[in-house]
Structure 1
Amino acid sequence: MATSRTVTATRNPPAESAEGAAPSELRVIVVLGAMVALGPLTIDMYLPALPRIAAELGVSSSVAQLTLTGTLAGLALGQLIVGPLSDSLGRRRPLMAGIVLHMLASVLCLFAPNIEVLSLARGLQGMGAAAAMVVAVAVVGDLFDDSQAATVMSRLMLILGVAPIVAPSLGAAVLLKASWHWVFAVLIVLAGALLVVAALALPETLPPVNRRPLRVRSIVSTYLSLLKDLRFVTLVLVGALGMAGLFAYIAGAAFVLQVRHGLDQQTFALVFSAGAIAFVAATQLNVVLLRRFSPQRILVWALALACVAGAVFIVLSVTRTGGIYGFLVPVWVVLSMMGFVIPNAPAVALSRHHEASGTAAALLGAAQFSVGAVIAPVVGLMGNDEIALSIVMTAGVAIALLALLAAGGADETEEH
């Protein structure tokens, strides 16, 4: 599993690379990491501005959070569309079209005069970012199998983890000099850079012979065949519910830390980044653990520990114990456990359906972001406080653990 190995050593080498040779695994991971980072950058970069957006547009905090809901809904819907397209047209063309859509939507965000236009533009932005994310995961499914796919996903998480560390700080830096609108100007530049990198460095990994017909009946048939696989559906559910805790934190952290605990935008960005560091560290420890344990077994233990941390979090929140540290410590533990769940659940699910990696990746991503779209306003309606976050985060990981155990937990082998 050494990263010095080339992609030619894997199952489906990208023979259509413009350079005429397969790229190194490290190069693929870096490019794919940049692609999956577009979604988190789009989500997280404007988080420090949420209280200001609510104040300037004259809406409540829960209404302002609808802009986050719009983004997550766009990410979910976009993946359901792009997944089958990428299985039919190849990976590159849907990717390029999605990035261009993201850039155009960012322009609309930049000039949005009210919350309605901003929410709509954020939804379109999410759909554009979805193309980059689903194609990246599909490429992993094209090239890697089982535990190796989980290892590659963990490496992607290392690159992906830079996004939530950098994004709030970058957004806060913009807010020091300009209005929140200009956060989206920076996103235009970042998406443009990604477009250039993907065009020059990402080969086509799905040969024409392996592409599926672009017909409605064929697409529906593929989705139905995936949904009939109970183990696959369970893993999708586990990944989605596991992500619920992450999205709850994203939706409510700005209000808890800035409004209740009085952190300024820059301090909030640093504290938010610490959670991302805990997540990234866990993804890299996951690579080490995969040498001794199956992805399924790691999933069970990570979710169990997240449930314990969540229970402690609820007690500390209800009793108002520990101040800001009573909030941050259990949150960081749950986030670190997600660093084991997020790489492993998709990797095991994708290993069951190499014949439709794009569509399978679309279902995985759509489920995750659909849950996020629901969770964001729920946290706001429950009060945007520690109690709301603790309940939502704990409920997500607890249900995920029960679903995984009900489907066989760590006992089933990875053979389909």
Structure 2
Amino acid sequence: MGRVPATLTPLPGRTAVRAVPTALVAVVVFLTAVAPLATDMYVTAFPSVEAEFRTSASAVQLTLTTFFAGMGLGQLVGGPFSDQRGRRRPLLAGTLLVVAASVVCALAPSIGVLMAARLLQGFGGGWVMVIARAVIVDLAHGAQLVRVLNVVMGIGGIAPVLGPLFGAAILRFGDWRTTFWVLAGLGALMWFSAVFVVPESLPLDRRHAGGLRTFRSAARQVLADRRFVGYVVTACAAFVGVFAYVATSPFILQTMNGLSPTAYAIDFAANAGAMTIASLVAARLAGRVSTRRIILVGQCCMAVAGAGMLVGAIWFGMPLMLALIGFFVLMIGNGLVVTNGGALASSVVPEHPGTSSAVLGLVQWTTAGVTAPVAGLGGSDTAVPMAVLVLGGALVSLYGLLVLARPHTTGRTTP
């Protein structure tokens, strides 16, 4: 009937990239697009949600926090669960949860119900993301793993490019609730795609029994690896700046600088496009240029963007041009840092792909969830907290790369 074989594993003598079919990479891109779609299609409508529920900007930003918290929990549970039960069936269950939660979001009668539904939506999305990523880690290794994950992120940049544009279009012809109906439809399409394309990539003899108990043991092992911790810090600290931008840019660009929802969506798409190009460039350089060097360039971009925006926010009230340039440079840096840091984290603990993905996902999305409300502490008329978070995240990311993950701490080689 055109379905994939039950199990797909790399054959001896074959390269990891050749063992990962193009169709599978494309579907993994689609599956992992749930987070940027569920976030970026919705942020354009923040002012509309605030007005309908007669609530505050901070309360609306908390719907991001609950979503990110759900993402972290979903990855925490989904990673070890798939290590025990396999990838395919849990992946299909997660896509169905995304559909159901999106429907509840569309029908939410209050901001409280919307927060709870966003938690479930994030849980399903995180569950799907960690398992889809584990499928790739099952089949690719070393420099090839870095290359494939960068391709996934790079091509997946189409989602954040199109997300705000779709969100702006929906606001022209519908309302913010329509966004969630669209997400429910996309969730159903993800289910069908997974049914027909995603194989079972974890054979029975490679599964770990014991569920969360085994996860605790495996988590202690991966967290005992100093370089793994360093690369997790490298990737997750960079997330701080990105989600400070996601949470506050609607207010900085629309409320403070007067951009229309459509103009905001176009700028958001341009920034996402910059991130996509940076990720694809990093993928092309994998195996030819040190991944650590690529990460360092990205961290410097983020630090420069944060420092410039902090000066502009404190002394000049964040002029539009400075905000536009700062966000653009920030996203270029993000494209070079986050996926490369995550790929190096997975590469140093290859014996626990699901657990390492779960730990990385939990820390990333918990960080994002904490960042969103902190970035909004100053209200909707200041950019100072956002700029502090961007600069601070870049500096902590540098610490993770240069101190915690310094190469001489282990005999393993780094792509």
TM range (shorter): over 0.9
Report how far residue 415 of structure 1 moved. 3.5
Aligned equivalents of 1:222, 1:251: Cα separation in 2: 34
SS at match of 1:97: helix
Give the structure 2 partner of residue 264 of structure 1.
Answer: 260
Q: Which runs of 5+ in 2 are unaligned?
A: 1-7
Give the structure 2 partner of residue 74 of structure 1.
Answer: 70
Indicate if the aligned counterparts of 1:299 and 1:344 stay in contact, CA closer than 8 A: yes
Alpha-carbon distance change, 414 to 355 in structure 1, aligned in 2, over 3 angstroms: same
Pair 1:388-2:385 in alignment: yes
Q: TM-score, normalised by structure 2?
A: 0.92
Report how far residue 237 of structure 1 moved. 1.4
Indicate if the aligned counterparts of 2:227 and 2:406 stay in contact, CA closer than 8 A: no
Q: CA-atom RMSD, angstroms?
A: 2.1
Give the structure 1 partner of residue 108 of structure 2.
Answer: 112
Choose which of 186, 191, 200 in structure 1 pairs with 2:187: 191
Choose which of 291, 295, 309 in structure 2 pairs with 1:295: 291
Alpha-carbon distance change, 103 to 251 in structure 1, aligned in 2, over 3 angstroms: same
Indicate if the aligned counterparts of 1:102 and 1:125 stay in contact, CA closer than 8 A: yes
- Cα shift readout 1:257-290 (whole Å, capped 9, x = no counterpart): 1111111111111111111011011011112332
Give the structure 2 partner of residue 415 of structure 1.
Answer: 413
Indicate if the aligned counterparts of 2:229 and 2:404 stay in contact, CA closer than 8 A: no
Q: Which runs of 5+ in 1 are unaligned?
A: 1-5, 15-21
Once the two structures are overlaid, the 10-residue window that deviates more, 36-45 or 310-319, is 310-319
Pair 1:137-2:137 in alignment: no
SS at match of 2:351: helix
Identity %: 35
Report how far residue 186 of structure 1 moved. 0.4
Aligned equivalents of 1:336, 1:154: Cα separation in 2: 13
Report how far residue 386 of structure 1 moved. 2.5
- Cα shift readout 1:194-238 (whole Å, capped 9, x = no counterpart): 100011011111111100003442221111111211211111111
Matches within 5 A, 1:137-286: 137-286=133-282
Aligned pair count reads 404
Aligned equivalents of 1:186, 1:81: Cα separation in 2: 27
Aligned equivalents of 2:412, 2:78: Cα separation in 1: 27
Aligned equivalents of 2:150, 2:134: Cα separation in 1: 15
Choose which of 395, 398, 405 in structure 2 pairs with 1:398: 395
Q: TM-score, normalised by structure 1?
A: 0.92
Aligned equivalents of 1:308, 1:158: Cα separation in 2: 23
Aligned equivalents of 1:97, 1:24: Cα separation in 2: 23
Indicate if the aligned counterparts of 2:301 and 2:332 stay in contact, CA closer than 8 A: no
For 2:192, the aligned partner's letter is V
Report how far residue 24 of structure 1 moved. 5.1
Report how far residue 382 of structure 1 moved. 2.5
Give the structure 1 partner of residue 24 of structure 2.
Answer: 28
Aligned equivalents of 1:157, 1:359: Cα separation in 2: 20
Report how far residue 414 of structure 1 moved. 4.5
SS at match of 1:363: helix
Report how far residue 315 of structure 1 moved. 1.5
Matches within 5 A, 1:305-384: 305-320=301-316, 323-384=319-380
Report how far residue 394 of structure 1 moved. 1.0
Aligned equivalents of 2:144, 2:359: Cα separation in 1: 21
- Cα shift readout 1:96-116 (whole Å, capped 9, x = no counterpart): 111111111111111111110
Once the two structures are overlaid, the 10-residue window that deviates more, 225-234 or 64-73, is 225-234
